[in-house]
Structure 1
Amino acid sequence: MEPWGARLYGDPCTRCAWSWSGDAAADIAYVREVPARYARLLTGRAGTERHPDLGWSVTGYVCHVGDNLRQWAERVAGVLRGGDPRVAGYDPDALAAARGYERTSLPAALWSLERSAAAWVQVLGEAVAAGVVLQHATRGPQPAADVAGNNAHDAHHHEWDVRRSLAASAAPPEV
């Protein structure tokens, strides 16, 4: 079984310092605030900023977080409504290419993130209360509460990536 969550990233995350609380309500509350957090952070920014060690621009990371929340909301909603609990992984780089992250405007990405987060918050709240368990193809059983923690970490981790990209873009070029 593929490691995920704290088993993969550490507790706290060795890179972004996310602490895995195991409190799904707190994770859902965190994601509820993600669009506003990102919007505040990116006020006055172009979205083209990037860190030399990262693959996507700031806008690319905003697109990814929105798409990741949308993907998981869709999967969980399907199970809540009686669908097959088996889910597969996806390749975020292939999705980025297909969706054209680098050609998306920052305002469009923030708009999409806001809608994805709202849908995710609603669906994950229902799924945690109902005790939904997904069967991930490579990670095994994933209770909705674990999905909430994993997705909240993803949003936090990529906010850290965005902050690093903004800081790198503000630094003078190396000579």
Structure 2
Amino acid sequence: MERWGASLYGNPCRDCGFDWSLTPLEALEWVKRLPARYGVLVDGRQGDERHPELAWNVVAYVCHVTDNLRNWAERLAGARLSGHRNVSGYDQDLLAHARSYNDASLAGALWSLKRAADSWVESVSAALEQNLVLEHSTRGIQRADDVARNNAHDAAHHAWDIERILAHHDRPTP
């Protein structure tokens, strides 16, 4: 089985500090406020800012978080509406390449993030009410509350990546 969640990143996350003990309802609230948080984080930026240790630029991280929320909202809705509980992983780098994340418009990515976060909150709320359980091809059983925490962590972790990029970009050059 693939390691994921706190077993992979530590509790708290050794990089971004995310506390995995947050409740599913707290994860919902966190993601509900996510578009505003990201908007403040990237205010006045172009989106093309980079960090030499990271493959993606600022807008690419916004696009990735958007697609991840949308993907999991769809998976949970599919299981809830059809009973089809089996899900598989996806290659985030192939998706980034196919969608040209690094070349996207930051304004468009933020617009899309708002819609994805709203859909995710709706889908996860319904999944939590039904105590929905997915069967992931490499992670095994994933309950709706696991998905809520894992997706909130993904968004928090990539906010940390964006902060690192912007700090690197803003540092004085010698």
Task: Name the TM-score, length of structure 2 as normaliser.
Answer: 0.98
Q: Which residue pairs with 1:40 in the alignment?
A: 40
> Secondary structure at 2:36's aligned position in 1?
helix
Aligned counterparts of 1:49 and 1:84: Cα–Cα separation in 2: 40
> Secondary structure at 1:81's aligned position in 2?
helix
Aligned counterparts of 1:34 and 1:52: Cα–Cα separation in 2: 26
Q: Once the two structures are superposed, what CA deviation does each residue of 1:129-168 show, in whole Å capped at 9, x if it has no partner?
A: 1000000000000000000000000000000000000000
Q: What is the CA RMSD across the aligned residues, in angstroms?
A: 0.9
Q: Which residue pairs with 2:64 in the alignment?
A: 64
What residue identity is the alignment partner of 2:4? W
Number of matched residues?
Answer: 174
What residue identity is the alignment partner of 2:148? A
Structure 1 residues 111-126: aligned runs within 5 Å? 111-126=111-126
Unaligned stretches of 5+ residues in structure 2: none
Unaligned stretches of 5+ residues in structure 1: none
Shift of 1:22: 4.6
Shift of 1:84: 1.2
Q: Once the two structures are superposed, what CA deviation does each residue of 1:64-96 show, in whole Å capped at 9, x if it has no partner?
A: 000000000000000010241000000000000
Aligned counterparts of 1:145 and 1:79: Cα–Cα separation in 2: 14
Shift of 1:172: 2.5
What residue identity is the alignment partner of 1:113? L
What residue identity is the alignment partner of 1:91? D
Q: Which residue pairs with 1:144 in the alignment?
A: 144
Q: Which residue pairs with 1:98 in the alignment?
A: 98
**What percent identity do the matched residue pairs reach?**
53
Task: Name the TM-score, length of structure 1 as normaliser.
Answer: 0.97
